[in-house]
Each structure stands twice: as C-alpha cells, then as structure tokens.
Amino acid sequence: MPVPVPKRRTSKSKRDMRASHWKAVSPTLGLCPQCHQPKLSYNACPKCGYYKGRKVMKSEEEKKKKKEEKK
Ligand SMILES: [Zn+2]
C-alpha cells in the first residue's frame, strides 16, 4: 500500500502561518465560592480544599497543622 507523501515542501510562508496559531493559553481563573480566593477553575481550591461545595482535600491551614505536629 502506498503511503501518502506531501508533493511539495511546505513554504516558509505556509509554515509560519501555521506557527501563528501555536501559542500559550492563560489558565482559566475563577473565584472559590467557599473562601472567595482566586483559584483554577475545575480544580479543588488550594486554600480551603473545597470543590463543588464538598471538601475533597486538605486545606492550606490543615497542612500547616500537620507540619507543626511533626516537629
Ligand atoms: Zn477556597
């Protein structure tokens, strides 16, 4: 079976036109409904550990407490 092969080398112009669409995207930031701190959307809040009105992970304060207990 023949493999499809480009007939012509991509010109500088066409190559650079493609490159113009390749850029960094800024992360979607939102406010936490629990502690009203800016956080990443669709991620648990790192400050209070809440996501969709439910506690899903340890908050920053609880992490600090754990560290103090170890010392
Ligand atoms: Zn929060």
Answer whether 0.75 is exceeded by the pTM: no
| Residue 15 token pair | 């190559």
Q: Is 10 exposed, middle or buried (0-12, 13-18, 19+ CB in 10 A)?
A: exposed
More confident residue, 57 or 39: 39
23 CA to centre of ligand 1 in angstroms = 30
1 CA to centre of ligand 1 in angstroms = 57
The DSSP line for the chain is -PPP--SSPPPHHHHHHHHTT-------EEE-TTT--EEETTS--TTT-EETTEE-S--HHHHHHHHHHH-
User: What are the residue boundaries of the structural domains of the chain, listed by start?
Assistant: 28-70
pLDDT of 57 reads: 79
44 CA to centre of ligand 1 in angstroms = 8
pLDDT of 66 reads: 75
35 CA to centre of ligand 1 in angstroms = 4
pLDDT of 11 reads: 95
Each residue of 21-42: pLDDT tens digit? 888 988 889 898 888 889 998 8
